[in-house]
Amino acid sequence: MTDYKNPHLLLETAEVEPGEISWRSPSNLAILKYWGKHGIQLPKNPSLSLTLSSSFTETLLEYRPKEGGDRDISLEFFFHEEPNEPFREKVVKFLESVTDIFPFLRQLDLTMYTGNSFPHSAGIASSASAMSALALCLCSLEHELFNTLDDDAGFDRKSSFVARLGSGSACRSIFPTAALWGETGEITGSSDLYAVPMAGEVHTIFTTFHDDILMASTEAKSVSSRAGHGLMEGHPFAEARYADARRHLHRLIAAMRSGDLEEFGKICESEALTLHGLMLSSNPSYILLKPNTLEMIERLRQYREETKHPVFFSLDAGPNLHVLYPEDIIHDVRLFIEEELKPLCEKETYLQDWVGEGPVQE
């Protein structure tokens, strides 16, 4: 089992010059949902996502050798240029958890500047973009200090592994276009420990797919995704859900390989509603959907029935509706969004996003 532990990654601090690493990493939208985990951030079922483009986190990590000899993680943290102690504490806890992978972190004073292009904790997978950006910074830092990660595929795999430890869905953000996380006989090399790229496995129509995110609410969620995953323990429908997800995966991979948009849309919407159905039926139950979310779904379904356009919806663990469609109907769909859905959004706000090329080192 790969764990990447390496006690030999220690520095001669007198030889280390101060420096910085910067990455921009996107969020991703799971079409096949991961909900329920075990062990250390391992999924109960595989998930398959589209990598987004304009919803991203930018992270700059500055480092310099410690002057003192303490072994604590030393981190100054700024979110959108302001100190944020709750976020700093989360990052410190994560960094402490990966010191067996990056033992040199205890030998450095770190300063982290990070920010999102979209609202955090509102169900647009901000943890995926944030933790993938940080994981990429850590792997780049290792390579800069020790010259250990020359192989691009190996760098991506380790980054995905490390990102998973911070946020399960983050491991999928490492790759362009689409990614699969979770071991399955459907895809050679798939693993519960990291995601694998799917760009070469999907029809070209998905490389230009759009995802317009309708903001039913920008408030932070009442229940975190971490807590939601925990409620799958003992959930009365858990085992049936995991079996259903594997059946959906078989159909979804076939649909995405062939470009079968009708089949893709059926699975996409079923998965979104199942996710929220699991929340509604957990103990305690909770509701993240808003009245306007449901109204948007009804209007989208009516529009699809009237126009026969392949336009579909998805939901993450939040109230905001993802509207998915191919590039060739963008003008019609955007007009529909502007006229019918935008007025239902909080402050008439929606984000125009699309399938992207993955993270970029800056």
Question: Which residue intervals of the chain bear CATH 3.30.230.10?
Answer: 13-202
Helix axis angle, 261-280 to 238-258, nearest 10°: 160
CA–centroid distance for 191 within its chain: 17
The secondary element (H helix, E strand) that includes residue 338 is none
In order of 59, 95, 128, 248, the CA distances from 279 in angstroms are 32, 30, 20, 19
Note the pLDDT of residue 121: 58
Residue 219, SS3 per DSSP? coil
Phi-psi bin for 80: left (phi > 0), alpha (psi -120 to 50), beta?
left
Residues 117, 54: contact at Cβ < 8 Å?
yes
CA distance 85 to 79: 9
Note the pLDDT of residue 222: 79
CATH architecture of 204-360: 2-Layer Sandwich (3.30)
Question: Which residue intervals of the chain bear CATH 3.30.70.890?
Answer: 204-360
CA distance 277 to 196: 28
CA atoms within 13 A on the CB side of 260: 12
Note the pLDDT of residue 118: 81
CA distance 85 to 78: 9
Q: What is the widest separation between alpha-carbon atoms in the chain?
A: 70
In order of 255, 292, 322, the CA distances from 339 in angstroms are 31, 15, 17
Note the pLDDT of residue 122: 55
**Could you tell me which CATH number the domain at 13-202 has?**
3.30.230.10
Neighbours of 352 (CB within 10 A): 14
CA distance 24 to 307: 38
Examine the pLDDT at 324 and tell me if it is beyond 60.
yes
Q: What is the pLDDT of residues 156-208, one digit of tens each?
A: 999 999 999 999 999 999 999 999 999 999 999 999 999 999 999 999 999 99
Mean pLDDT check: name the lowest of 68-72, 135-139, 256-260, 277-281: 68-72
pLDDT-derived band at 125 (thresholds 50, 70, 90) equals low
Note the pLDDT of residue 169: 96
Note the pLDDT of residue 341: 98
Q: What is the pLDDT of residues 29-71, one digit of tens each?
A: 999 999 999 999 999 999 999 999 999 999 999 999 998 778 8
Mean pLDDT of the chain: 95
Q: Which of 118, 114, 103 is nearest to 13 (CA)?
A: 103
CA distance 285 to 336: 34
Residues 34, 181: contact at Cβ < 8 Å?
yes
Cα 49–252–360 angle (5° rounding)? 20
CA distance 346 to 130: 24
Lookup: tokens for 307: 């126009």
Q: Which of 313, 345, 291, 322 is nearest to 124 (CA)?
A: 322
Examine the pLDDT at 332 and tell me if it is beyond 80.
yes
Note the pLDDT of residue 68: 77
pLDDT-derived band at 223 (thresholds 50, 70, 90) equals confident
- DSSP E strand boundaries for the chain: 19-32, 37-38, 42-43, 47-65, 74-79, 82-83, 108-116, 178-181, 195-197, 210-214, 312-315, 321-325, 350-354, 360-361
H helix intervals, 71-125: 85-97
Note the pLDDT of residue 12: 92
